Structure 1
Amino acid sequence: MKVFLFLSTLAVTALASSRPPFFPQVTRSNQQENQELQCYEFPSYEGIAYRFNDYAPSLSPFDFDNVISSCCFNGVWILYDEHDYNKNDFGAAVYSGWGEGACFTFDATFDDKASSLRFAGAPDGYKQDTINFYESKYFIGEEQYFYDDAPQFNFDNFGQSVIVTGCAPWTIYEYDNYQGESICLYPSDTTECYPSFYAEPTDLGFLASQVSSARKGCFSKNEKKGKATFP
């Protein structure tokens, strides 16, 4: 089984400086693309563990707030220093990873800090085609995500960061109904269906915080390919 992973801790003043080792984890073949995150209270995957397969705006109900020291990733997951995905503090730390059975022990910049977490993409297949928009950079705050064409958003003029999953590109537009300026956003690998990460407004160019509609496929002369890692 292939294992892929990227991990990053972002805070106002610090970045993680080292890359993790890879720890393959046996995963049933019919579920290896499902979104699942198993986290542990101690480094090296020891102590009390909890397996997540859904959003958790607060880890307090699990008695896991400010407890996590290591996790094993299946799919695309983002962990946040504050409750509600840092929506009340856009400068708080973020830790993100993706892979198939890839495990990592957090360093001091994020150890015992996670207070909320969520995945990006479809719950039953991280390689399904989706586009995920976030209110602030580094995938923080409110979220809007789409599996199909979206002629208008619930929140207009939205998106300072984006995660694209699956094999297909998406075209994002300035106005409703696919009008105005546009940009094609690509996954990092259109054959293997690996996600791509547009972590900052500069990655979205002139459409940062200006997106009002999106549709699957590339229909623009402007194209951007996101990073396979963040940052």
Structure 2
Amino acid sequence: MFYSEYGYNPNDYGGMSWVWGQDYCFSFGSVSNDVSSLRYAGHGGDCRISSLTLYEHEYFSGEEFYSGIDVPSVPASMSRIDSITTTGSDWTVYTLPNYTGSQVCILAGGPPCYVALVTDLADLGISTVRSFRRGCFSERKIRLDTPHHGSVVKTRE
């Protein structure tokens, strides 16, 4: 993930491009010559290893919270969550702690990297994530067709 602003576009504006997959080539879109920060989503060594990352803003910007295990209570420091990445397996997210409240199962894409990118939490029909666990534990299932590359520019409001 490549960001035009230092600190991963912490103020919820700027250009952002992402790419995922193995041996996948791409050309930068909106970020082009303006990359000021970058970060890896998922496990650093293998995109097939299960992980879920929550992001403060849409399009994977701002603060992040990463885990490869079930989390019964998302830390209070992550008061706002607007986007998600998953790798390796399906994950169920919940709107309340301890795997309660409204839930939705995020189905991972196909091989070789099992990836799902939720650019806007509203796409899942929920307003926040307060707990999550590996596997599919909801009748509501969403499979997102995540392109291997994407770009966006968010302007100041």
Q: TM-score, normalised by structure 1?
A: 0.60
> Aligned partner of 1:213: which letter?
S
The within-5 A match list for 1:29-40 is none
Picking from 21, 27, 31, the partner of 1:99 is 21
Picking from 219, 225, 231, the partner of 2:137 is 219
Number of positions where the alignment pairs a residue of Structure 1 with one of Structure 2: 148
Q: Provide the residue aligned with 1:59 in structure 2.
A: none
- Counterpart contact for 2:109–2:116, Cα < 8 Å: yes
Higher gyration radius (CA): 1
Q: 1:96 Cα deviation (Å)? A: 0.7
In the aligned structure 1, how far is the partner of 2:19 from the partner of 2:141?
25
Q: Provide the residue aligned with 2:93 in structure 1.
A: 172
Q: Provide the residue aligned with 1:203 in structure 2.
A: 123
Residues 1:183 and 2:101 aligned together: no
> Aligned partner of 2:64: which letter?
E
In the aligned structure 1, how far is the partner of 2:38 from the partner of 2:63?
13
Q: Provide the residue aligned with 2:154 in structure 1.
A: none
The within-5 A match list for 1:79-158 is 79-88=2-11, 90-106=12-28, 109-155=30-76, 157-158=79-80
Unaligned runs of 5+ in 2: 152-157
- Normalized per residue, the structure richer in helix is 1
Instruction: Summarize deviations over 1:112-138 as a string: whole Å, max 9, x none.
Output: 100000010001111111111111111
Q: Percent identity?
A: 32
> Aligned partner of 1:104: which letter?
F
Pick 1 or 2: higher relative contact order, CA cutoff 8 A, min separation 6.
Answer: 2
Structure 2 vs 1, CA of residues 201 and 221 (structure 1 numbering), >3 Å: closer, same or farther? same
Structure 2 vs 1, CA of residues 158 and 218 (structure 1 numbering), >3 Å: closer, same or farther? farther
Q: 1:157 Cα deviation (Å)? A: 5.0
- Counterpart contact for 1:120–1:163, Cα < 8 Å: yes
Structure 2 vs 1, CA of residues 174 and 106 (structure 1 numbering), >3 Å: closer, same or farther? closer
CA RMSD of aligned residues (A): 1.8
> Aligned partner of 1:102: which letter?
Y
> Aligned partner of 1:226: which letter?
L
Unaligned runs of 5+ in 1: 1-77
In the aligned structure 2, how far is the partner of 1:170 from the partner of 1:104?
28
SS in 2 for 1:218: coil
Picking from 87, 94, 114, the partner of 1:194 is 114
Structure 2 vs 1, CA of residues 151 and 133 (structure 1 numbering), >3 Å: closer, same or farther? same
Instruction: Summarize deviations over 1:36-77 as a string: whole Å, max 9, x none.
Output: xxxxxxxxxxxxxxxxxxxxxxxxxxxxxxxxxxxxxxxxxx
SS in 2 for 1:86: coil
> Aligned partner of 2:71: which letter?
A
Q: 1:142 Cα deviation (Å)? A: 0.7
SS in 2 for 1:203: helix
Q: Provide the residue aligned with 1:11 in structure 2.
A: none
